C-alpha cells in the first residue's frame, strides 16, 4: 500500500482491496502524510474520492488531515520552538502565523486562511502553530473548517476521474485548476503591490 502512494489508480485499487478496513487506511495514510512531510497527500485524497465517492471520500480525507494536523501541532508543542526550527528550517514561525501572534482570534484566523491557500505547506503550518500561544481547540476548529473545502475538491476530483464520463472529469480538472489559480493570483497581486510600495 505504501509503495502506491504516488500512483492514484494503484492506491485506489489497494484501498478497495482492504474492504471494510479501507476507510481506516485512508485516514491513517492522510494522517501519516501530514505528520511526515515528504509523503504526498493529494494522491491519497484522489484515491479516497475514487474509491468512496464525494461524500465519504471527503469525510475520510478531512478526518485524516485533521488528525495529522493535531498530531503535528502536539509534537511541535511538546518539542518546543528550537526543535521545530531545526526540523522545518526557515519556514518555522514565518508567513501568516508570524504576523498574527497578537491574539487568539488572529492566530485562529491565520490558521483557517492558511488551510485555504494551496501554496502554503499544510504540515509546516501545523508544526509552526504548535509553537504559538494558540489554544488547541481553536487550532482544531480552524483546521477542520479550512480543510473541508480542499478535501471535498480532491475527493470530488478523484470521483470524477474514476467515472467513465470524460466531460465531467475534464470539467472537474478545470474547476480544480481555477480554484487553485485564484489564491495564487491574489498572492502575486499583493506581492507586486508591496514591491511597488517598497
Q: What is the chain's Cα-based Rg?
A: 17
Confidence of residue 181 (pLDDT cuts 50, 70, 90): low
pTM: 0.71
Place of cell 503550518: 125
Under the banding of pLDDT at 50, 70 and 90, the label for residue 81 is low
- pLDDT tens-digit profile of 131-179? 888 899 999 999 999 999 888 888 877 777 766 555 555 555 555 555 5
Cα separation, 159 vs 163, in Å, equals 6
Alpha-helical (H) ranges within 37-132 are 42-79, 81-88, 96-99, 104-116, 122-129
pLDDT of amino acid 180: 56
What is the rounded average pLDDT for all residues in the chain? 77
pLDDT at 1: 47
Amino acid at each position: 500500500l505504501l509503495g502506491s502512494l504516488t500512483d492514484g489508480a494503484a492506491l485506489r485499487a489497494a484501498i478497495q482491496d482492504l474492504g471494510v478496513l479501507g476507510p481506516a487506511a485512508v485516514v491513517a495514510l492522510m494522517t501519516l502524510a501530514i505528520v511526515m512531510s515528504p509523503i504526498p497527500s493529494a494522491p491519497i485524497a484522489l484515491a479516497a474520492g475514487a474509491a468512496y465517492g464525494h461524500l465519504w471520500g471527503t469525510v475520510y480525507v478531512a478526518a485524516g488531515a485533521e488528525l495529522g494536523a493535531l498530531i503535528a501541532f502536539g509534537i511541535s508543542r511538546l518539542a518546543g520552538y528550537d526543535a521545530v526550527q531545526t526540523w522545518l528550517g526557515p519556514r518555522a514561525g514565518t508567513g501568516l502565523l508570524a504576523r498574527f501572534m497578537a491574539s487568539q482570534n488572529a492566530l485562529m484566523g491565520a490558521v483557517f486562511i492558511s488551510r485555504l491557500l494551496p501554496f502554503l505547506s499544510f504540515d509546516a503550518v501545523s508544526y509552526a502553530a504548535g509553537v504559538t500561544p494558540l489554544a488547541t481547540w481553536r487550532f482544531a476548529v480552524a483546521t477542520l473548517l479550512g480543510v473541508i473545502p480542499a478535501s471535498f475538491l480532491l475527493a470530488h476530483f478523484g470521483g470524477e476521474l474514476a467515472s467513465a464520463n470524460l466531460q465531467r472529469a475534464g470539467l472537474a480538472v478545470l474547476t480544480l485548476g481555477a480554484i487553485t489559480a485564484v489564491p495564487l493570483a491574489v498572492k502575486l497581486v499583493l506581492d507586486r503591490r508591496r514591491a511597488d510600495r517598497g
